[in-house]
């Protein structure tokens, strides 16, 4: 992790999942997310201690395991507060909900890994505790109630509202819970007028234009490919066809993450009156309208 100052009171830790830091006094800070596991939490604590800072709280943009993985070790060692918005608080307090939601049932043992199952931590709804110098705003689409944060330095932390060009070119499919809201969020991001933007898995930038276009274009592309697969195929057949189309390799994590995302695309296409379904020989199949 590399500590980088980007504003008078705003810093971030450059990492696989970027971590925001906002100073409210000379020696007191809030974190924005906590990394993907307890080792990330320990590294964050080491850097914060070296700076002579005290962690007052962690603000989780959302409850995915790679954003809350360091919560417990940091909270246990500092007794700091943890904040999130609405439904995200439930997933942070009861993280088994994520793997259960993604699998659609009780998760078998192999799904209880650090990528899908963080340790639980105590969390407060950020609505009940506004923080001076920080504004939060909804960024729906990627997960249930994800938020972004704007600091007093006019720097925006955007969670997983955007994914990097490198990630998109490599994997093509990134997790989306609500496709329509994800696209709405991209439109909202075009209205921002910040000094800098820090998405969790992207390079810092002062201009979101190209990144928004790359994300939107890929969502439209994936949506079109899934639409074209809907010729009396089951979900499993569509999932296989999309993996083959993009030369992806299936594993347990990809099955639930990409599988859930493809189901979200199917719901989006259905709600847009582009596809429908029927039951044939006790199988649910999708077809174009």
pLDDT reported for residue 231: 95
- Tens of pLDDT, residue by residue over 23-61, are 999 999 999 999 999 999 999 999 999 999 999 999 999
Under DSSP, the state recorded for 127 is G
Q: What is the spatial distance between Cα 85 and Cα 246, in angstroms, rounded to a whole number?
A: 34
**Ranges of each domain in the chain:** 2-221, 225-288
pTM for this model (two decimals):
0.95
Under DSSP, the state recorded for 163 is -
Q: What is the spatial distance between Cα 29 and Cα 21, in angstroms, rounded to a whole number?
A: 6
Q: Copy the structure tokens of residue 48.
A: 């914060």
Check if the beta carbon of residue 158 is closer than 8 Å to that of residue 139: yes
Under DSSP, the state recorded for 178 is -
**10 Å Cβ neighbour count for 231?**
12
Q: What is the mean pLDDT of the chain?
A: 96
pLDDT reported for residue 194: 97
C-alpha radius of gyration, the chain, whole number: 20
CATH topology of domain 225-288: Arc Repressor Mutant, subunit A (1.10.10)
Q: What is the spatial distance between Cα 279 and Cα 287, in angstroms, rounded to a whole number?
A: 11
Check if the beta carbon of residue 149 is closer than 8 Å to that of residue 134: yes
- Tens of pLDDT, residue by residue over 165-201, are 999 999 999 999 999 999 999 999 999 999 999 999 9
**10 Å Cβ neighbour count for 101?**
17
- Homologous superfamily of 2-221: Ribonuclease Z/Hydroxyacylglutathione hydrolase-like (3.60.15.10)
Phi and psi dihedrals of 220, rounded to 5? -65, -40
Task: List per-block mean pLDDT (blocks of 10 residues) for the chain, which spans 289 residues.
Answer: 96 95 97 95 97 97 96 97 98 96 96 93 93 95 98 98 95 96 98 97 96 98 98 97 95 96 98 98 97
C-alpha 281: how far from its chain's center?
Answer: 38
């Amino acid at each position: 992790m590399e500590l980088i100052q980007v504003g008078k009171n705003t810093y971030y830790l450059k990492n696989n999942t970027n971590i925001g830091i906002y100073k409210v006094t000379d020696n007191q800070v809030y974190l924005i997310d906590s990394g993907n596991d307890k080792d990330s939490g320990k590294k964050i604590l080491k850097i914060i201690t070296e700076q002579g800072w005290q962690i007052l709280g962690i603000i989780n943009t959302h409850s995915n395991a790679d954003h809350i993985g360091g919560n417990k070790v940091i909270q246990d060692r500092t007794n700091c507060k943890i904040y999130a918005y609405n439904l995200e608080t439930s997933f942070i307090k009861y993280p088994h909900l994520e793997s259960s939601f993604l699998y659609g049932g009780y998760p078998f043992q192999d799904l209880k890994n650090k990528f899908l199952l963080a340790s639980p931590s105590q969390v407060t709804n950020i609505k009940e505790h506004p923080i001076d110098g920080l504004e939060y705003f909804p960024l729906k689409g990627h997960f249930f109630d994800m938020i972004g944060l704007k600091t007093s330095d006019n720097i925006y932390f955007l969670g997983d509202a955007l994914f990097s060009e490198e990630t998109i070119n490599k994997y093509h499919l990134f997790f989306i819970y609500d496709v329509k809201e994800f696209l709405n969020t991209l439109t909202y991001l075009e209205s921002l007028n910040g000094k800098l933007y820090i998405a969790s898995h992207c390079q810092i930038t002062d201009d979101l234009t190209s990144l928004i276009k790359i994300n939107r274009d890929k969502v439209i592309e994936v949506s079109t490919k899934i639409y074209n697969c809907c010729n009396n195929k089951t979900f499993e057949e569509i999932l296989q066809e999309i993996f083959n189309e993009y030369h992806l390799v299936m594993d347990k994590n990809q099955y639930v993450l990409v599988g859930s995302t493809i189901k979200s695309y199917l719901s989006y296409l259905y709600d847009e009156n582009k596809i429908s379904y029927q039951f044939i020989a006790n199988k649910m199949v999708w077809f174009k309208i």
